[in-house]
Amino acid sequence: MFGFTQSSACALRVVASFLPPLLLTACIGVTRAPAPTAIPPDPPGALRVSAVGDIADCRHGSPAESMAARTAALVPPGELVLALGDMAYQYADAVTLASCYEPTWGLHRRTTIAIPGNHDYVAGDASAFIDYFRPISAPGAGFIAHTRRLTDHWLLVALDSNVSGSALEAQYRWLEESLATERARGDAQECVLVMWHAPLYSSGLHRGSGDHLRRFWRLLDEYGADVVLSGHEHFYERFGPLDADGRVPPDGEAPRQFVIGTGGTQLFGFWKPPYRSESRVLTHGVLKLSLAPAGYSWQFIDVDRRVRDAGQARCRAAAN
């Protein structure tokens, strides 16, 4: 985190010719870091979750010296982890997972729910990822996805953003059927948390990388999804509620996206923020979610244990 405000980032454009390009783009729209804040206790019945992607990178040092070791230390033993893809660099093959991920975030493997990113497919093969994380996969070949009840009030939908063609079509049909089954249950479930790797919305280098999942977003929005978690962009960013066309609905009810590609690999800067980008932070850290029966709160915690972004919201079903 460079610690620049919007105004100071604009002032730097005056001397742009003297600054490295990455530094300049990193200054655009980076939010000021708040003062350190203690993490408040969870409300009764809440589940604490840590979420992050783009994690283990030991190409320039030992695992103990890596940034992944510092972000892993932000998660207490036993806490649920949502790992948002790109688990190890340059690719998450068996050797790199064992030598770099295992000594760092592997400490939390027992409580980790993982989805694959593009670096988890090695020459189109995700077998090392599957062998290591043992994800609960949907029936059928070609994609890694599942639904799971995290609590009586929270449904998790995990999707694979690295598929195309017939596998993408099969995943969409599976999602339609899965949501229809959940709706038919008609029980106390009120809140929906979604995770996939490549974000639909972002202010980064890979903007548009999740565009093939736009219709998935539309389907999940119709179902009442509350939160979408992604990685892929190597920074933290939070959006306001947006529909599948990047618009704020008249009633303000739509999924809210968080991008958390801050698990340990090299960070990238921001381009001009689109849509309703509400917070952008360029530092390594972890998103902490507190999932309560009728709502959720969030805090992005950096490796120095400072709170860089925080807020809370009701679940859409609870607000109606």
The CA-atom distances, in angstroms, between 312 and each of 113, 150, 207, 282, 295 are 23, 19, 26, 21, 8
35 domain residue, yes or no? no
CATH code: domain of residue 294: 3.60.21.10
The count of other CB atoms within 10 Å of the CB of residue 17 is 7
Residues 101 and 237 in one domain: yes
The count of other CB atoms within 10 Å of the CB of residue 4 is 20
DSSP characters over 27-90 = HTTPPPPPPP-PPPPPPTT-EEEEEE-S-B--TTS-GGGSHHHHHHTTS-TT-EEEE-S--BSS
Residue range(s) defining the domain that contains residue 292: 44-319
Residues 225 and 315 in one domain: yes
Q: Which of 185, 194, 189 is nearest to 219 (CA)?
A: 194
Residues 25 and 56 in one domain: no
Residues 3 and 78 in one domain: no
Residues 189 and 55 in one domain: yes
Helices (H) then strands (E): counts for the chain: 8, 13
203 domain residue, yes or no? yes
154 domain residue, yes or no? yes
Residues 20 and 162 in one domain: no
Residues 110 and 9 in one domain: no
Residues 152 and 5 in one domain: no
Domain count, the chain: 2
39 domain residue, yes or no? no
116 domain residue, yes or no? yes
What is residue 22's predicted lDDT score, i.e. its pLDDT?
A: 37
Residues 224 and 140 in one domain: yes
66 domain residue, yes or no? yes
38 domain residue, yes or no? no
What stretches in the chain show pLDDT beneath 50? 1-37
- Alpha carbon distance 299, 290 (integer Å): 9
- Alpha carbon distance 202, 198 (integer Å): 9
Residues 256 and 240 sit within 8 Å (Cβ to Cβ):
yes
Residues 22 and 139 in one domain: no
Residues 16 and 162 in one domain: no
Beta strands 80-83; 47-52: pairing state: parallel
Residues 73 and 3 in one domain: no
What is residue 50's predicted lDDT score, i.e. its pLDDT?
A: 98
36 domain residue, yes or no? no
